[in-house]
Structure 1
Amino acid sequence: MAPEPPSAPPTARVQDIISTFRPTKLFKNPPGVQYTSIDFDDSGEFLLLSRTDDTIQLFNTKAGAYAKELKSQKYGSALARFTHHSTSIIYASTKLDDGIRYLSMHDNSFLRYFRGHTDRVTSLALSPSTDMFLSSSMDNTLKLWDCRSANAQGSLNFHSPWFTAYDASASVIAIASPPAQMVCLYDLRHYDKPPFANFDCALFEDRFKSRGQRPGEGWTGMEFSNNGKYLLITTNGPGHFLLDAFTGDFTHYLSRPSGADRSHYAPGDELPRSSDNTTPSYFQSSASFSPDGRYVIGGNGTLNGLLVWDCEATPTTDKVLEPTTDLPSQRPAKVVAYNPRHNLIASADKDMMMWLPDLDMA
């Protein structure tokens, strides 16, 4: 790795530094192991990643250092997420049962078990403002939980609800069904009522089949932008979809010139059999919004490095938006996240990297 560049001041605007990010810290994994999910805590000081060897890895981003390993060999681990307390996390089991576990990292003890799903959990989404969280599963249910109770606070039956997300106000939840090519929006206060909006993704997804996009397949995540304008659907195909969060109108197809990355497994994809004591798993989204909601940062498909798309840029007549910036590195990125408090990006696949802006380039 190159010498670490000076950090950008906390007040630096994302648009002034987005093209200057460079990898500054590399943390290598044992052979045959991959990271499958990534998450920052609310303060931005800590970074959490699930790994295919049934461990969860914690890093201190402020120090740029590895912190600790949490083992879950008995139950497996996927989709590790911070709660609003930096010392406690939730994660989905991949062995024995399909429960969700609430863990105190301070003493490595379980605080609670959330049981109810009968098939693989595919999405965990924490409320931006409370201790509530959502889970979706391949058992065709979505469940609403409170960290303070082991019992589900509510449940919805839904065809393949493989992804769910809160909007920034925590008043709206989105449920995505890739096989149905549908995203539904619910008022959280009346989640047991019919959705107030349905976004039919088949209206635009089918038009990109010639590029190698598989309609109704390969979705890897869903995320609202913090500014409330956009809803991002990420895929393992040659592009991602950006929708207007209010109307559901299709605004951009975020093209990845390198093409599809079928080794980035999504719910519905056949997982490979493991012969090296690791647990095959779905990968979290390979792209994420910047905190200001203007940019999407994601992996470069089958190539190394990261790509950046400017959501305010004008796409082509067929709504295709090419990357505005290519951030080079020597490693690919299956999972990507932008720190919510600091100008720092983390990306991971077989190894994990932290990225900082190079002020000499700004």
Structure 2
Amino acid sequence: MGDTQAPPTTKISDIIHTFRPTKLFKSPPSTQYTSIDFDDSGEFLLLSRTDDTIQLFNTKAGAHAKELKSQKYGSALARFTHHSTSILYASTKVDDGIRYLSMHDNSFIRYFRGHEGRVTSLALSPGSDQFLSASLDNTVKMWDCRSPNATGSLNFESPWLTAYDPSASVIAIASPPAQTVLLYDLKNYDKPPFASFDLQVIERKYETLFGQQAGEGWTGLEFSNNGKYILVTTNGPGHYLLDAFSGDLVHYLHRPSGATGRLAPGDPLQASAELPGPSYNQADACFAPDGRYVVSGSGSQTGLLVWDCAEREKSDKVLEPTTELPSAKAGGVVMYNPRFNMLASAEKEVVLWATDMDLA
């Protein structure tokens, strides 16, 4: 990435404003990237694309590594397991199963069947081979990579998003239509949730202020690594940053350029000439590893936005971006590398971002 790249030990607050695009990978016309994931080592990047392929990049080399085709079953929500040669992804055609693939020899290790509606969320446990899936069939299922059968199942109204906390002891389940985030003790998931966060009043406020659509458009759910915050990302003009303990709104992360126009779970999926294989978009925002910053696509514009969550709360809770990271490309999906000071974003092209220490 060049001599100006910040070492991994550099404080994020010192370099968050210095990210600039360093690599661009073009894609075929009429395709769009819909999910993004780094492996545990930070060396490899995995993305789902609407042409029923999964794309693998070596970020260390700054190069495209492999294309995996899934033309029969489609592909969405591709995720690394804790073994960087093995991945999980959701089917979008034929059935609603989850597939466990070895990229080493491009062979399936296992199929996870049980959902009767399109899978809308896949979340891997931070500390084990367990994972969660949510579906349009109104269930959340718990799985272990070593077994084809679900280890647990919960029924909800529209539980379209799931997440593990950093300790892997708590799971969060979000229902946009119900405007709630529920927290469960993983060991007692069959018991009622120990916390329920209702966003109805919050959403009504920002619908009035900015046109944020209430009860729809939620695209992602994530705990910060320090366990303090929960981020509810949306395809609208802002994201919700919640206190992970009380559920109170800490900041409404406003993006001035407005909504993205990308599909969120629950939106109808209709093929078109522009997008023949439509898919839900994974969140276009993520926490930096220190939990202090959120990086996001800018909405209808190009480039990325950064918010400093440590800024003092305002009376209206609206937090404007701390800095803008310039790029000619939009960020439909965004992720911060867990090991190195590197960002990746993608919509129609994949962009790798590195820090430019000349700007620090």
Alpha-carbon separation, structure 2, partners of 1:327 and 1:318? 25
Decide whether the 8 Å contact of 2:30 with 2:275 is kept in 1. no
Distance 1:277 1:313, change over 3 A: closer
Question: Per the alignment, in what secondary structure is the counterpart of residue 360 of structure 1?
Answer: helix
Alpha-carbon separation, structure 1, partners of 2:349 and 2:271? 21
Letter in 1 for 2:50: T
Overall identity of the aligned pairs, in %: 71
**Residue 84 (structure 1) aligns with:** 82
Alignment of 1:101 with 2:99, yes or no, is yes
1:110 to 97, 108, 111: 108
1:7 to 5, 8, 15: 5
**Residue 136 (structure 1) aligns with:** 134
Alignment of 1:37 with 2:20, yes or no, is no
Alignment of 1:212 with 2:247, yes or no, is no
Report the Cα offset of residue 278 of structure 1.
3.5
Letter in 1 for 2:300: T
**Residue 59 (structure 1) aligns with:** 57
Distance 1:83 1:238, change over 3 A: same
Report the Cα offset of residue 52 of structure 1.
0.2
Alpha-carbon separation, structure 2, partners of 1:107 and 1:183? 39
**Residue 336 (structure 2) aligns with:** 338
The TM-score, its normalising length taken from structure 1, stands at: 0.98
Letter in 1 for 2:244: A
Letter in 2 for 1:34: Q
Report the Cα offset of residue 145 of structure 1.
0.1
Report the Cα offset of residue 261 of structure 1.
1.3
| Residues 187-234 of structure 1: CA deviation (Å, up to 9, x unaligned) | 000000000000001121110112110110000000000000000000
Question: Per the alignment, in what secondary structure is the counterpart of residue 173 of structure 1?
Answer: strand
Alpha-carbon separation, structure 2, partners of 1:267 and 1:328? 29
Letter in 1 for 2:10: A
Q: CA RMSD in A?
A: 1.1
Alpha-carbon separation, structure 2, partners of 1:213 and 1:157? 28
Decide whether the 8 Å contact of 1:212 with 1:260 is kept in 2. no
Question: Per the alignment, in what secondary structure is the counterpart of residue 207 of structure 2?
Answer: helix
| Residues 71-130 of structure 1: CA deviation (Å, up to 9, x unaligned) | 000000000000000000000000000000000000000000000000000000000000
Report the Cα offset of residue 277 of structure 1.
7.9
Decide whether the 8 Å contact of 2:43 with 2:60 is kept in 1. yes
Alignment of 1:126 with 2:153, yes or no, is no
Alignment of 1:242 with 2:230, yes or no, is no
Question: Per the alignment, in what secondary structure is the counterpart of residue 260 of structure 1?
Answer: coil
Letter in 1 for 2:165: D
Question: Per the alignment, in what secondary structure is the counterpart of residue 359 of structure 2?
Answer: coil
**Residue 297 (structure 2) aligns with:** 299
**Residue 257 (structure 1) aligns with:** 256
**Residue 228 (structure 2) aligns with:** 229
Q: How many residues align?
A: 359
- Unpaired runs of 5+ residues, structure 2, are none
Alpha-carbon separation, structure 1, partners of 2:274 and 2:201? 42
Alpha-carbon separation, structure 2, partners of 1:319 and 1:291? 23
Letter in 2 for 1:221: G
Letter in 2 for 1:168: P
Report the Cα offset of residue 5 of structure 1.
5.9
Letter in 2 for 1:258: S
Q: How does 1:151-300 map to 2 (within 5 A)?
A: 151-210=149-208, 211-262=210-261, 264-275=262-273, 278-300=276-298
Letter in 1 for 2:250: T
Letter in 2 for 1:128: P
Letter in 1 for 2:249: F
Decide whether the 8 Å contact of 2:81 with 2:124 is kept in 1. yes
Letter in 1 for 2:58: N
The TM-score, its normalising length taken from structure 2, stands at: 0.98
Decide whether the 8 Å contact of 2:230 with 2:242 is kept in 1. yes
Question: Per the alignment, in what secondary structure is the counterpart of residue 341 of structure 1?
Answer: coil
Alpha-carbon separation, structure 1, partners of 2:28 and 2:46? 17
Decide whether the 8 Å contact of 1:259 with 1:302 is kept in 2. yes
Question: Per the alignment, in what secondary structure is the counterpart of residue 271 of structure 1?
Answer: coil
Alpha-carbon separation, structure 2, partners of 1:345 and 1:276? 27
Alpha-carbon separation, structure 1, partners of 2:326 and 2:86? 34
Question: Per the alignment, in what secondary structure is the counterpart of residue 297 of structure 1?
Answer: strand
Letter in 1 for 2:337: N
Alpha-carbon separation, structure 1, partners of 2:277 and 2:148? 26
**Residue 70 (structure 1) aligns with:** 68
Alpha-carbon separation, structure 2, partners of 1:38 and 1:174? 20
Question: Per the alignment, in what secondary structure is the counterpart of residue 208 of structure 1?
Answer: helix
Decide whether the 8 Å contact of 1:5 with 1:24 is kept in 2. no
Report the Cα offset of residue 260 of structure 1.
1.1
